[in-house]
Structure 1
Amino acid sequence: MIFSGRNAGLILTAAASLLPSIFAQTVTYQAEDATLTGVTVATASAGYSGTGYVESFDESTDQVTFTITSAETKLYDLGIIYMGPYGAKYTRVSLNGGAGSDVSLPETTAWTAVSAGQVLLNAGTNTISLQTNWGWYLIDALTVTPSTPRGAHQVTTALVNSNSTPATKALMSFLVKNYGTSYISGQQDTTSYAWVESNIGKSPAILGLDFIEYSPSRVERGSTSTAVEDAIAFNARGGIVTFCWHWNAPSGLIDVAGQEWWRGFYTDSVTFDVEAALADTSSADYALLIRDIDAIAVQIQRLADADIPILWRPLHEAEGGWFWWGAKGPEPCKQLYQIVYDRLTNYHGLNNLIWIWNSVAADWYPGDATVDILSYDSYPSTPGDHGPLSATYNALLSLGNDKKLIATTEVGTIPDPELLELYDADWSWFVTWNSFVEDATANSLDFLNRIYYSDYVLTLDEILGWRGTSASSTTTAAPVTTSATSTTRVSTTIVTSTTSSSATASSTGAVASKYQQCGGVNWTGPTACVTGTTCTAVSAPYYYQCL
């Protein structure tokens, strides 16, 4: 996420993936036969189905509206057959006049089918509209196919870093254990976190923090941060910590009104060229990139010393292009991601990181070998749109071949847990960004109370003891939706959790330093603490820490 001044209109709520083969039950609705508003029927681009296609999506109110009848209330897969000769675009899909979601239409000069996610059609007559959004695309038809139950997820608990610490492995096992059966709550920044506790009476399970102020180009200008201390304090409560990094560019800060130095993570506020820097490893800018990564490594090491695993999301929202690390397209960004991974993992030996990738498009993906979790940051252009983001979820499911956990790592408006269950959108967790949680337009107080007290949403009091979760190297866990109104949760996970012991004297003679784990379920490390600290139960019997 960004701070004040971000163009919310660029933040997309759904993405598209290639459609699977069309089943016999698929019904195709021709665009030229639909209700047209501000658009026209054309025939110049050959290869369309029916008698034509629809074009001229150039005004914000232009749309094509399909009328669809369903015999029962049922979940359907939507597909759009389109051509995108003018570059990558987005269309906005809405059901029965609702808020809708944005679906990506990649550039193509051939008629192409993409997934538009899923819709829950009412028994009887429904309408589905495709509205301009970015515009300048051609629509041939809409396909509607009854959704079929999805099998169990083939998600692995094995981390890409085989040297990950026991606590890091336990965290991943805990996430996989709950994947498809719950939605773990989270909140960005300590001030907004406190607001949730005061106004909702519940504590989010995850605290989101940012390494932004540790960026050397900010430190040089007087910035300071307590993010690491905040993480240590939250860990002592038994919570889960996630970090992003709004990486202030290492050089090229424009620093004029509207492009101040503290906006140095934005593309429009820097002249730093990531592609050029990476092309010359002997350049000053390349050296500065390494310097910056090393500066963040110091802070991650502090957390490693405290035995705190991190849900780590570097180079987030890259495909949007609004941050400098994504400004030059996918290849430099993927190259930089691999450098960050190698530097932190292999050079600095930091083994407390769970690596999260945060772009949806396949050409931006750095690959399975360095990514543990796939994710998406959601800021619907319609405030209060609590939709399930099913198109985006399905795109990420395809990107990771259903072998990677998937999370909503930032949200402005929180997806409705009831819709997540209905749509089989098994997002692992959410982190509401800063004051969006306090914004009654994005998230009403009634809605927040409903989700925080939902049986499907896990809060801090319900995740204590996650450090005691163990697992074999592979697991499967998933829901299977049998109908639109009846959801059966199926968990075939082979994750197990045991209950045992608190701290005892160390049999090896090793001593745990301040903030390190010293006992609890499955703990095999040192149980004696350094002088001046005591092995203290943080969430007995699962986790004890030298405090």
Structure 2
Amino acid sequence: MIGSLALSLLVASGVVAQSVTYQAESATLSGVTVGTSVSGFTGTGYVEGFDEAADSITFTVNSSTSQLYDLKLIYNGPYGDKYTNVVLNNAGGSQVSLPATTAWTTVSAGQVLLNAGSNTIQIQNNWGWYLIDAITLSPAAKRGPHKVTTAPINKKANPDAKALLKYLGSIYGKHILSGQQDQASLDWVTQNVGKTPAILGVDLMDYTESRKSRGASSTDVDKAIAFAKQGGIITFCWHWGAPTGLYDTEDHRWWSGFYTDATDFNIETALADTTNANYTLLMNDIDTIAVELKKLQAAGVPVIWRPLHEAEGAWFWWGAKGPEPCKKLWKILYERLTKKHGLNNLIWEWNSVKTDWYPGSDYVDLVSADTYSQGDHGPISATYNNLLTLANDTKIIAAAEIGSVMEPAQLQAYQADWVYFCVWSGDFISGGTWNSVDFLKSVYSSDYVLTLDEIQGWKNGTSKTV
């Protein structure tokens, strides 16, 4: 095993190009045990038994200087897709995806900024039930300039959409836009933090027939237009209730109809041909949403548009049958909204990380991810770096939904250049557990974080931050 002493000597001697491996079985174990029955591991064993929330492995790493390192994790995932948390020095870190595999596999776990002296790297249970063999550390190369495009994929994009994408490109890597989901939660930030987020996140959930017919209604489009008039930026998601097949039982009520387990709607069979009834229902929903998006276009509001979000998780019906039907529906959405309905105010934001889900750069303006790690204000660098690889650094990257806000200094130190964050609503922002008011005040006062008052004039290029 190469341990902390070796890393210290490597750094001290200036030989920083090598990677250093730390065996999990030699780390400090809490609630987990060493196993040897699954062959192919390195060292003398691996760590298993991640079945309780507090289970963890803690590596002690000594470094002679403060330096940023790439972190990789060697694991085996025989029990399906999982996540783990990587926490550095008990504060900050990343949620790391561990795709299902029966082979020992190495994945990027983001980066760690080691302090001079002793450091701890902790692998914390998240979804649990995986095997950890080892971690490796190697000095991170300084990232060069981004290669992102700010030309919209829609050749007919209107001046509003072009201006928004150009503005996002102008601040990318220099600042992060603050964002908040839901008008009431945004108002809470204004009242309790003293600053207003630059971005309002809203939802087209309650505009389609399967929900309106059951009494749902929404004024989110009106709220979006009003916020845009204040100089703010709008992002819309769409919790798309299945157009039919809602169970509406005690355990799965109709209002949860976007969840896979709340409907028998099958995206694969619905898209099998264009003549079946369920395909027609999907198109009707898209046409209904187009009416609302046209109101925004007429009002001069460009929209960061994030439909089919979190598809790879499969907990929403649009991701339940795997990547191919989902990518097919994404392209149908794009073609129908842009060509049939002439919607040229949309910035198309993809919201999954896995490569086999990506619909292709011709159909995506921004890439993004939704991450929730309670109380962890780290830079979410593993996810950021995976998105960087996904689009070969040609697309701007956003943290479209988060629970805990990232600490600005960590974002800069880790080169995690998220263009915006959008905190989810309710207790995520106001409950005090995910984000304290004092912490939010420190974030919103950072020069790196842009608020509504600081982005005025972004559309015509007169913003002071461009």
Residue correspondences, number: 447
The 1:198/1:131 distance shift into structure 2, 3 A limit, reads: closer
Instruction: Report the counterpart of residue 452 of structure 1 in structure 2.
Output: 444
Question: 1:336 & 1:125 partners in 2: Cα distance?
Answer: 50
Specify the code of the residue in structure 1 equivalent to 2:408.
P
Q: Which residue of 2 aligns with 1:397?
A: 388
Change beyond 3 A, Cα 1:192–1:328: same
Normalized against structure 1, the TM-score is what? 0.78
The 1:288/1:142 distance shift into structure 2, 3 A limit, reads: same
| In structure 1, C-alpha distance between the alignment counterparts of 2:38 and 2:391, rounded to whole Å | 38
SS where residue 164 of structure 2 aligns?
A: helix
Partner of 2:300: 307
Q: Distance in 2 between matches of 1:459 and 1:136?
A: 41
Which piece of structure 1 moves more, 452-461 or 196-205? 196-205
Cα separation, partners in 2 of 1:222 and 1:31, compared to 1, 3 Å? closer
Which runs of 5 or more residues in structure 2 are unaligned? 1-15
Partner of 2:8: none
Contact 2:402-2:421 within 8 A present in 1 as well: yes
Q: What TM-score results when the alignment is normalised by the length of structure 2?
A: 0.91
2:93–2:379 CA contact under 8 A, matched in 1: no
The aligned counterpart of 2:460 is 468
From 245, 258, 264, give the equivalent of 1:252.
245
Contact 1:39–1:62 at 8 Å: present in 2 too? Answer: no
Is 1:428 the equivalent of 2:422?
no
Following superposition, the deviation at residue 72 of structure 1 comes to 1.8
Residue 9 of structure 2: aligned partner = none
Paired position in structure 2 for 1:474: none
Amino acid of the structure 2 residue aligned with 1:110: A
In structure 1, C-alpha distance between the alignment counterparts of 2:181 and 2:81, rounded to whole Å = 31
Q: CA deviation at 1:100?
A: 4.8
From the CA coordinates, give the structure whose radius of gyration is larger: 1
Instruction: Find the counterpart in structure 2 of residue 20 from structure 1.
Output: none
* Structure 1 residues 97 and 251, CA gap change in structure 2 (3 angstroms): same
Instruction: Tell me what 2:10 maps to.
Output: none
Q: Give 1:61 deviation, angstroms.
A: 4.5
Q: Does 1:211 align with 2:204?
A: yes
Listed as ranges, the gaps of 5+ residues in structure 1 are 1-22, 470-496, 500-547
Comparing both structures, which one devotes a greater share of its residues to helix?
Answer: 2
SS class of match (1:344): helix
User: Is 1:328 matched up with 2:321?
Assistant: yes
2:36 match: 42
Q: CA deviation at 1:249?
A: 0.9
Paired residue type of 2:34? T
What displacement does 1:199 show?
1.9
Q: Deviations over 1:243-292 (max 9, x none)?
A: 11111110011112232212211222212111121123221111100000
Paired letter, 2:171: N
How far residue 24 of structure 1 moved from its aligned partner, in angstroms, is: 3.6
AA partner of residue 361 (structure 2): D
Deviation of residue 58 (structure 1)? 4.4
Name the counterpart of 1:408.
399
Between the aligned residues of both structures, percent identity stands at 59
- Residue 341 of structure 1, CA deviation: 0.8
The aligned counterpart of 1:481 is none
- What's the CA shift string for 1:301-347, capped at 9, x where partnerless? 11111121111000111122221111222221111111111110121
**Preserved CA contact (<8 Å) 1:43 1:53:** no
CA distance in 2 between partners of 1:465 and 1:301 (Å): 23
- 2:432 counterpart of 1:443: no
Shift of 1:404: 0.5
Cα distance, 1:223–1:36 mapped onto 2, change above 3 Å: closer
